[in-house]
Amino acid sequence: MDFVISDDLELHYVPISSVILWRENPKEHDMGEIIGSIKTHGFRDPSAFDTQLGGLVEGNGRAQALGIMKSQGEKVPRGIKVDENGEWCMPILFGVEAETRAQAIAYAIDHNNISLSGGGFSAYDKARLWDKEGYLAILSELDLEELPVSVDAEDLEMLSKGIEDFIDQSPKEESDEPTVEELIEKYGVKRGQVWVLTSENGTVHTFVCGNIERLRKYVAGQGDEWEWDSVFIGDIVDDVTTVVSNIRKGLDLDEFPRFLTFSLSLDLVKVVDALGGILYGVHADEGIFANFIEMAIESGYNIHIV
């Protein structure tokens, strides 16, 4: 993302694969609710970029939600554009950026905390929006005169002394659903791994946790010729609709039996099975990859690491 800094706000559509998140962002997110909201209402709240943070100063969770939706083969939501390569593009605000990193951090905190202002919420209540260690870490970077509008010196002192005990003892909603971290640990997912999924008809599909080069090397190592001229290998097949559309164009499946996808979708596996093809998938996000493994096992597929 390379745009000129300005005192005016500008809205640009950026491919989600090019979006840079704020790495130190300690904000907690309920991905289920964010995705549900986007599905119901469309994408109506643009994220914003700030060079002082080197990433999104607001809307990190929304950007992550779009990535998950796309990887799961969801319908393109209203407010999101699709470019000529089939890439989802999200609206991002540029301009009116902070003059210092401290100001950018303060704005990021205020952007979330002030939504709770006016309801009698305490500094502790607002702190529960954040990962406790991460929240204190970014606040500790700021001098007293640089603190967010929503956090004063008294709040910071109180939080520093008691936030850990308060949050650890606060009631937590019980859920039978494993977290992303638990799924990654459960299946031991790491970058560079190769997993194979066997369908009911005996077809073996290959999935690589990593980038396209890792997949290319793996396939080449198996003695397969990598057909970059194939319409399915050369073009990114993102969802079921694209696959069916290609087939309806009268393409010869016997000549091009293999499909490449950057989206991990069991619906896509089923379509490729029905067409008698073989699916190669690649995704670098361990959490999304682990979630795909969990869904595949729950759906009765045989999937294992090689």
Question: Whole-angstrom Cα distance, residue 82 to residue 74?
Answer: 13
Q: Are strands 81-82 and 88-94 parallel, antiparallel or unpaired?
A: antiparallel
Residues 74 and 163 in one domain: yes
Query: What are 278's strand-pairing partners?
Result: 258
Within-domain flag for 176: no
Report how far residue 218's alpha carbon sits from residue 173's, in angstroms, rounded to the nearest whole number: 42
**End-of-domain residue from the set 129, 147, 169:** 169
Question: Domain boundary residue among 136, 169, 202?
Answer: 169
Q: Is the pLDDT of residue 57 over 90?
A: yes
Compare 130 and 272 and report the one with higher pLDDT: 130
Tens digits of residue pLDDT in 94-124: 999 999 999 999 999 999 999 898 878 888 8
pLDDT at 216: 60
Q: Are residues 70 and 164 in the same domain?
A: yes
> Which candidate, 24, 70, 77, 42, places its Cα nearest to that of 283?
70
In this structure, are strands 10-15 and 88-94 parallel, antiparallel, or unpaired? antiparallel
Mean pLDDT over 273-294 rounds to: 84
Q: How far apart are CA 76 and CA 263, in angstroms?
A: 13
Residues 155-168, mean pLDDT to the nearest whole number: 67
Number of domains in the chain: 2
Lowest mean pLDDT among 135-149, 190-204, 238-252, 281-295: 238-252
Kindly indicate the confidence band of residue 187, based on its pLDDT and cuts at 50, 70 and 90: very high
Q: Are residues 193 and 148 in the same domain?
A: no
Same domain, yes or no, for 91 and 239?
A: no
Q: Which residue has better confidence, 166 or 211?
A: 211
Amino acid at 172: K
Same domain, 163 and 215: no
- 77 pLDDT band, cuts 50/70/90, is very high
Residue 202 sits in the same domain as residue 98: no
- Give tens-digit pLDDT for 200-234: 888 888 888 876 666 666 655 554 443 332 333 33
Name the residue range of residue 209's domain: 182-305
Q: Strands, DSSP E only, in the chain?
A: 10-15, 47-50, 55-58, 81-82, 88-94, 194-198, 204-209, 258-261, 278-283, 302-305
Q: How would you classify the pairing of strands 88-94 and 47-50?
A: parallel
Same domain, 53 and 97: yes
Average pLDDT along the chain: 80
pTM score: 0.54
Same domain assignment for residues 127 and 217: no
CB of 208 closer than 8 Å to CB of 282: yes
Q: Tell whether the model's pLDDT for residue 170 goes beyond 90.
A: no
253 has pLDDT over 60: no
**Whether residue 120 sits in one domain with residue 210:** no
